[in-house]
Amino acid sequence: MLLLIVFSSCYKYETIDYDYENYNRLVGPQGGHINFFYNYGADTNMLLETDTNNIIVELDVPEGALDSNFIFNFYTYEDFEVADELSKGLAMVGTKFFYFVPIPESEGYHEHEEADLSYHYSMNFNKPITVKFHFKVGLENETNINSKRLKYEYYNMFNANYRLYRIKIPRIDEWSNIRNVFVQWNRQGYPVGYMASDLYDIILGYWYPFSTNQVMSASIINWSPVDEFEINPDDNSVEFQINNSDYMYVLARITQIPVTQLPVKIKLLITDYFNIEIIRAAFIEGNYFVLLEDHSVARFSKKGDFISLEKYNVPFASLPNMIKSYLITNYHDEYMQGNIFTLNDDTTVQYQINFQNGECLVFNNYSGVFEYVGKYVYTDDFSGLPQSIKDYIDTKYPDATYTNLLYQDDGYEQLYVVYIGYQGKHIKLFVSAVGDVYYSIYYGLKKQDIPDPVSSYIDSVFNGLEIKTIELYDYVDSSEYQVIMLNEGRIDMKPDGTLIYADYPILVSEVPEIVNNAVADKFTSSSMISARYLFFSNIEYELYYVEDLFVDVKSSGKVIFAMGTNFYDLPENARTYIIDNYSEDEFGDFFYDSGEYSDEGNPYYVVTLQDNTILFFDDDGNYEPNKKVNLKRRNQAIQKYQQFIQNRN
Amino acid sequence: MYKKVTILFFIVFLGILPVSAQFLHIGGKIFGSPDLEMQFFTYDNNEYVFYFANEQNETIRFDGITDSRIKSMKPYPAVYLRYDFNVRWFFQFETFYFWFTNEASYKNSVDLAEYSETFNTENNQEILNFNSIQLKWRFAGNRFFAGYTFMKTKSFRPFVFTGFSTMYLMDFRIGDAYKTREYRNQILFSHLSTFAPFTVFNTSGFGIQYHGARASFYWQRSVSDLDIYAADYKQNESLSIDEPHPNYEYMVGVFMSVSVNIFSINTQKSQLDDKALDFFIIKK
């Protein structure tokens, strides 16, 4: 009995006073305060989570800002290459880039153990959330060499001239369906931030709203200054408010550099016609890209001829009268967020007017006078969606969640693109104004969502490679799965396993003998670097050689196209002609077209000399002085080839 | 309740002694547990989820808690007091000391490589606390049982017994851990530190005796609530995960022991001497 009493008195229930609330990133409608703590340094055993000096970000969420419980994830992004590129005339970064990804607690996380991607989750807060970013916390403990370089070359330069900028993260399809930002999920099934390559494109302006052309020059077009912020030098923090999750932030200083490499002709053209300062220029693929002070981009040919000008945010007063009248009459209550003016070399002009409510109007003067062409409307307000479309969706997808709506009117046809969430899937419906569904795209599918024949084919071809995206295109009378792999290989396949399209890399050893022989018969280059398998109406192989040769060959062994810079890949007769009339040193590149897909009918070679002289030869290499062909195909091939070279490097 | 039961047994035990007891043994014992299983509560819909606000956005998810099984032949000490009466029936009271480690495991949102790079600051080969916390337990206890010994005329005498044990949680703490994860670990541990300080088990077993030495094999299973929140949970199983709720459902184990009498007293020696004298006188 005595022992019992002794033992009973020995144990004292341990009460531990650890405040989880101080270390919790879950917050609900009642509001709250979140402290994000810096990860532990390598040289300390301190309990950093309890040390307020190690708070890197504070979020103050007021009551009512959120409608339900949200988990806030906080990420930083830094890349020495980005900072380096920006420093060349665009901006000096003073801190890491940082952003938040809120996730509804009710949605939970992806419960699967594989890497995955999803689209950016956009949400507006009912009230502004106050953010305090302690931008120097943790920098002392950086061990990564690039982080150290950033610290010494950029972050330590921070001074009072730096301002807070925000960089737009587009909502799904807001900047077109090829400009979406992906959230990357790790193998544990949790988000680890936006894909670095997407952030790279957004920060450096390679993507921007409604951009259709490939932007070759970095810009800070997506940057906009945050109007109200407060830098506190005492604790190296910046405090500001956020209203949504659609931006990433950085403290930076916009810079300008002198442009010395531009031809005088271009400088004079800019001075005479635009009367504006040049802040950045690039020479890419034979064209000059000049970034002007107003962030417009002027393009010039190698010879200095004007090609086009894209101008952003033209002041309202400077817009053509017709457009001004149209806007005043129809949009006098809307806030114009920006516009894009495009002047083409044929003097035609197009204006895109963007409004804060998501509308984008298109005007052009192709007919000689400005006229309204059509508009895009990107919104989460579904009140304008015709009832017939709502009925269709509610019947086919009961209890679906309406997320976004894109309305397109090009003057001829109205099209609604409706984004909905249904049973854990995201669906995009293309619907006419009268409710006819042209087709639907189910995106963000998982591997378990695809039928066995498709899954088996992917397994057999890609041998366990991870899938990047799966989309289902559901047409009126058929459907197709489009699967993109992490190596950018692509498969389009019907649910029954019928292959529609394929484009993916294969091993050099997998190229059929007949294809290899066809190349060997025609060209001297022989060291193949890589190969791709193509399937559409027939099977083709794209082959790349060390000697700078790119060849398209049919599976039957017929060479379709070729492009290269190796003089000895030309037929002997062509080489002799060039040596006799010019010299081997003047040779630039060549292009071969079998004529199969062009109007020419007969095979021919196009040789471009260093001075841009173009020579034509027939299949045997005989010079054809009077040949004239459409070089569009050649230019496409060159672009593709150069993309490959760029990727390879 | 259990204290009352214990007191009652003592009264009965002490009451029996003067009636028919023969030998009182005091001995030492060592025991080990080849298999001890601690079963945790599992919850269909609810999980412990901790959203830690560090740069890794670390999320810890206890999906119930993984079964924890200890297999160890580590010897633990005990002392006992056994009373044999009429060479068949016996009562035994033991006091023992018992300790072990096991692990509560969970899922971590951070990739292992990332976790190792970030938190394994001393580059240890072993990655600690990524998806588990080692728990260290120390118990003292009493065991009381009654038994019956067969074949009283033989040298090797099998016996069976049944009774109950009480265990007192002397110490409960986190085992091997990174110092730099102490704050997070303590938050996790504070939700695991719900083991009841006083617990009761039933015990049954069998063994064999050779003179003053015994070897036995027995099992024990908890019969009282192991968790301080178990009683509330049983009354209201719809407890929200945000409310305190139990972790430990039951514990069951098998044990092996070897014991030897150190000191024996024949409590009826004078009566036997008198009877022998009577017999001798009659014979005579």
Under a CB-based contact definition with an 8 Å cutoff, are residues A443 and A482 in contact? no
Amino acid identity for residue A212 in this structure: T
**Which of B53, B114, B197 lies closest to A34 in CB terms?**
B53
Average pLDDT of span B253-272: 81
For A26, nearest residue in chain B (alpha carbons): B51
pLDDT-derived band of residue A595, with 50, 70 and 90 as boundaries?
confident
Under a CB-based contact definition with an 8 Å cutoff, are residues A172 and A110 in contact? no
Average pLDDT of span B5-26: 57
Using CA of residue A195, residue A196, residue A198, residue A203, what is the dihedral sign? Answer: positive
The pLDDT score that the predictor gives to residue B138 is: 93
CB neighbours of A611 closer than 8 A, spacing ≥ 6?
A586
Q: Is any Cβ of chain A less than 8 angstroms from the Cβ of B114?
A: yes
Higher-pLDDT residue of B60 and A448 is: B60
The pLDDT score that the predictor gives to residue A574 is: 93
The pLDDT score that the predictor gives to residue A215 is: 57
| Eight-state DSSP code of residue A644 | H
**Across all residues in chain B, what is the average pLDDT?**
81
From CA B25, how far away is CA B266, in angstroms rounded? 9
Q: How far apart are the first and last CA of chain A?
A: 82
Q: Within A97-217, where are the H helices?
A: 145-153, 196-203
Buried b or exposed e, range A204-242, using 16+ CB within 10 angstroms: bbbbbbebeeebebbbbbbbeebeebebeeeeebbbbeb
Q: Which two tokens stand for residue B221?
A: 């299973």
**Across all residues in chain A, what is the average pLDDT?**
81
pLDDT-derived band of residue A171, with 50, 70 and 90 as boundaries?
confident
* Total Cβ atoms within 10 A of residue B93: 18
Cβ–Cβ gap A186/B111 under 8 Å: yes
Q: Give me the helix-helix angle, A80-87 and A145-153, nearest 10°.
A: 30
List pLDDT tens digits, range B72-90: 678 999 999 999 877 789 9
Q: Which two tokens stand for residue A541?
A: 């192989």
pLDDT-derived band of residue B218, with 50, 70 and 90 as boundaries?
very high
Q: Which of A344, A119, A90, A120 is nearest to A222 (CA)?
A: A90
Lowest mean pLDDT among A22-36, A142-156, A185-199: A142-156
List pLDDT tens digits, range B144-186: 999 999 987 888 999 999 999 999 999 999 988 887 788 888 8
Cβ–Cβ gap B172/A14 under 8 Å: yes
The pLDDT score that the predictor gives to residue A237 is: 94
Answer whether residue A236 shows pLDDT above 80: yes
Under a CB-based contact definition with an 8 Å cutoff, are residues A458 and A451 in contact? no
Q: Within chain B, where are the H helices?
A: 2-20, 112-119, 182-190, 230-235, 269-283
CB neighbours of A179 closer than 8 A, spacing ≥ 6?
A170, A207, A211
Residues of chain B with pLDDT > 90, as a percent, come to 36
Q: Is any Cβ of chain A less than 8 angstroms from the Cβ of B152?
A: no
Residues of chain A with pLDDT > 90, as a percent, come to 22
Using CA of residue B4, residue B8, residue B13, residue B15, what is the dihedral sign? Answer: positive
Q: Which two tokens stand for residue B281?
A: 């006188």
Name the CA dihedral angle for A186, A208, A177, A315, rounded to a multiple of 10 degrees: 140
Higher-pLDDT residue of B258 and A584 is: B258
Q: For chain B, state the CA radius of gyration.
A: 25
Answer whether residue A9 shows pLDDT above 60: no
Q: What is the DSSP string of A320-356?
A: -HHHHHHHHHHHTTS-EEEEEEEEETTS-EEEEEEET
pTM of the model: 0.60
Amino acid identity for residue A160 in this structure: A
Q: Which two tokens stand for residue A603?
A: 């095979």
Tell the residue number behind the tokens 């494109």, with chain if given: A201
Q: Which of A330, A327, A349 is nearest to A340 (CA)?
A: A349
Lowest mean pLDDT among A80-89, A616-625, B258-267: A80-89
Q: Largest alpha-carbon pair distance within chain B?
A: 99
Cβ–Cβ gap A8/B142 under 8 Å: no
A25 neighbourhood in chain B, CB within 8 Å? 51-53, 57
Q: Is any Cβ of chain B less than 8 angstroms from the Cβ of A20?
A: yes
Q: Which two tokens stand for residue B82?
A: 């056994």
**Which of B166, B169, B179 lies closest to A45 in CB terms?**
B179
Under a CB-based contact definition with an 8 Å cutoff, are residues B29 and B257 in contact? yes
The pLDDT score that the predictor gives to residue B283 is: 41
From CA A136, how far away is CA A327, in angstroms rounded? 46
Lowest mean pLDDT among A529-538, B76-85, B89-98: A529-538
The pLDDT score that the predictor gives to residue A432 is: 87
Answer whether residue A99 shows pLDDT above 50: yes
